């Protein structure tokens, strides 16, 4: 007997879809291309997939006057409103690439360089003859409905097979390619090059990524793959190459970062830190390289905190605390504030710590329950935007994972004060205020001029790999020679982790410039 289906109409946009009672509203939305924020991949724990059911009967989990889309099912036709906060549609891709102007191609052949991120996919259209970028485009990775991090994607493909996630990433790439080629007639894409973490690379190639969880160290992660793009369903046909990775948790995106930084060619030792849900760290020089991956948690990407949100319109991305201990802030697109994104949260904790509102333990010195950044009447959601001690704890855990990872590599390689440069990568990179990041103990307290932003190194690396045979050889050599250092179970890492669980650190002598500001 055919199962009863209900019509769900989503607003804004009035897109409608038929769904069975076993389907959640989150699944129904995804099936018609609407993406609702779902950092916990529908486990019902993050509370970010909030929707308003304005008409119809449902069975599900209520949150105030709203419902959790992942835990709510239709029992009749429904009318569902997705609040801006829950929508992933307005994500702001934070990079300077948007400043690159669209240019004409010198011939008919073009290449596409791609950064396949867990959250976003960014691409360059490349004039292969002149070897320069003639266009840029980016899109949300459609896989985000199945969780924000690689572990959720691995779990999804283990339970439901790889095909669905493969289809979603191919669709995303096709959207990016379509935008890159818009208005350009008779252009033939002959080569594509993609840099992504190992899970994204596997899913793109339609390979099962479950092996990564079972065995993060395998030679096969270090191989650059070549495939026929059209056989994978990519509309821009041609040869697709993927950058080789280092391990299951340090992928081709990080090899791209290294290539873009040039640290693998220097005699002096440098460190590279890619800040994201996973912090990837590489240390070394032309002789040797060692890399690790540390799970920073979702706080810097807007999840895991009460008022955290992704860097989209209305997110507070810069905050300073004035003499009256009031927050002065800026929002993306100058919209009314709806929440605080990663860079804003780092600013906020750093500002409150320097003003003595937060103590070394991340607790409110005056025993208040929360710090209100935006009162109810000024916020774009009608709810106040505030920071609690629980939020501070989650930010401290994230920063600690990255700092302890950096310190552990430095202990087995070269001490932090001796580093020539510290390269900061990741889309978050350009927007990370180094001073504030050092203040909370996320980055080491080293002379600020040693810090260099490289922005989206993964995309820059993919571009170099696509256009320059010498760089291709360099990247393949970087992947081969970099040693992966496993942090879980490592005694030095555990020790460093415990010491770093403070603002900025238990050992004040490691943060002399921050201490000076406090005195
Ligand atoms: S609570 Fe629904 S996706 Fe996290």
Lowest mean pLDDT: which of 8-12, 105-109, 110-114, 204-208?
Answer: 105-109
Query: What is the structure's pLDDT at 100?
Result: 67
60 pocket-lining for ligand 1 (C-beta < 6 Å): no
Query: CA 386, CA 59: separation in Å to the nearest integer?
Result: 31
Which protein residue's CA is at the shortest distance from atom 1 of ligand 1?
Answer: 44
18-30 pLDDT tens trace:
999 999 999 888 8
Asked whether residue 297 carries a pLDDT value surpassing 80, the answer given is no
Mutate to test the pocket of ligand 1, among 24, 27, 44, 305 (most ligand atoms within 8 A of CB): 44
Task: Give every CB contact of residue 514 below 8 A, 6+ residues apart in sequence.
Answer: 438, 439, 441, 445, 504
Rounded Cα distance between 371 and 356, Å, is 13
Burial of 396 from C-beta contacts in 10 A (0-12 / 13-18 / 19+): buried
Element (H, E) at 458: helix 457-467
Pocket perturbation via mutation, ligand 1, pick of 24, 29, 48, 64 by most ligand atoms within 8 A of CB: 48
Residue 487 has what pLDDT?
96
Domains of the chain: 5-86 (3.10.20.30), 96-260 (3.30.420.480), 261-297+417-493 (3.30.420), 299-394 (no CATH)
3-state secondary structure of 481: helix
Render pLDDT for 45-78 as a digit per residue (tens, 0 to 9).
877 888 989 888 889 888 777 899 999 999 999 9
Q: What is the pLDDT of residue 372?
A: 97
pTM score = 0.84
State whether the beta carbon of 40 lies less than 6 angstroms from ligand 1. Answer: yes
Ligand 1 center to 18 CA (angstroms): 21
Beta-strand runs (E) in 28-131: 50-55, 58-63, 66-74, 78-81, 109-116, 120-127
* Ligand 1 midpoint to CA 68 (Å): 6
> Is the Cβ atom of 61 under 6 angstroms away from ligand 1?
no
The pLDDT tens digits of the residues spanning 358-411 come to 999 999 999 999 999 999 999 988 889 999 999 999 999 999 999 999 999 999
Residue 94 pLDDT greater than 60, yes or no: no
- At 218-244, the pLDDT tens digits run 999 999 999 999 999 999 878 999 999
Angle between helices 252-261 and 469-481 (to 10 degrees): 120
């Amino acid at each position: 007997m055919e199962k009863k289906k209900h019509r769900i109409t989503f607003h804004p946009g009035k897109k409608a879809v038929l769904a069975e009672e076993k389907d959640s509203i989150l699944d129904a939305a995804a099936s018609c291309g609407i993406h609702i924020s779902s950092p916990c991949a529908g486990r019902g724990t993050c509370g970010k997939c909030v929707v308003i059911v304005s008409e119809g009967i449902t069975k599900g989990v209520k949150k105030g006057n709203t419902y959790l889309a992942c835990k709510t099912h239709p029992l009749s036709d429904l009318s569902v409103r997705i609040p801006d906060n829950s929508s992933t549609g307005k994500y702001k891709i934070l990079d300077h690439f948007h400043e690159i102007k669209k240019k004409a191609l010198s011939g008919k052949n073009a290449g596409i360089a791609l950064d396949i991120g867990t959250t976003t996919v960014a691409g360059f259209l490349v004039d292969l003859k002149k070897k320069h970028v003639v266009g840029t485009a980016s899109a949300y990775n459609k896989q985000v409905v199945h969780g924000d991090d690689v572990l959720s994607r691995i779990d999804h493909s283990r339970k439901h097979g790889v095909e669905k996630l493969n289809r979603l990433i191919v669709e995303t790439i096709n959207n990016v390619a379509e935008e890159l080629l818009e208005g350009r007639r008779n252009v033939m894409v002959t080569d594509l090059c993609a840099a992504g973490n190992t899970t994204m690379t596997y899913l793109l190639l339609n390979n099962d990524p479950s092996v990564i969880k079972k065995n993060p160290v395998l030679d096969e992660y270090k191989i650059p793959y070549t495939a026929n793009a059209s056989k994978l369903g990519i509309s821009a046909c041609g040869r697709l190459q993927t950058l080789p990775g280092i391990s299951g948790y340090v992928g081709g995106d990080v090899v791209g970062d290294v290539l873009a930084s040039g640290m693998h060619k220097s005699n002096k030792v440098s460190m590279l830190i890619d800040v994201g849900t996973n912090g990837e760290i590489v240390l070394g020089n032309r002789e040797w390289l060692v890399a690790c991956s540390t799970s920073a948690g979702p706080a810097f990407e807007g999840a895991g905190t009460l008022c955290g949100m992704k860097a989209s319109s209305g997110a507070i991305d810069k905050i300073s605390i004035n003499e009256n201990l009031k927050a002065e802030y800026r929002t993306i697109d100058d919209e009314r504030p709806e929440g605080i994104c990663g860079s804003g949260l780092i600013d906020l904790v750093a500002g409150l710590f320097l003003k003595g509102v937060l103590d070394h333990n991340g607790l409110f010195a005056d025993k208040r329950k929360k710090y209100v950044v935006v009162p109810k009447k000024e916020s774009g959601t009608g709810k106040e935007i505030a920071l609690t001690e629980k939020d501070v704890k989650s930010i401290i855990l994230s920063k600690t994972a990255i700092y302890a990872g950096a310190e552990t590599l430095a202990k087995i390689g070269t001490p932090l004060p001796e580093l020539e440069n510290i390269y900061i990568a990741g889309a978050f990179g350009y927007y990370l205020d180094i001073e504030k990041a050092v203040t909370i103990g996320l980055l080491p307290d080293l002379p600020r001029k040693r810090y260099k932003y490289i922005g989206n190194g993964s995309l820059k690396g993919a571009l170099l790999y696509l256009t320059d045979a010498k760089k291709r050889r360099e990247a393949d050599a970087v992947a081969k020679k970099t040693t992966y250092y496993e942090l879980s179970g490592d005694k030095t890492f555990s020790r460093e982790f415990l010491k770093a669980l403070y603002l900025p650190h238990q050992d004040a002598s490691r943060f002399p410039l921050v201490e000076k500001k406090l005195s």
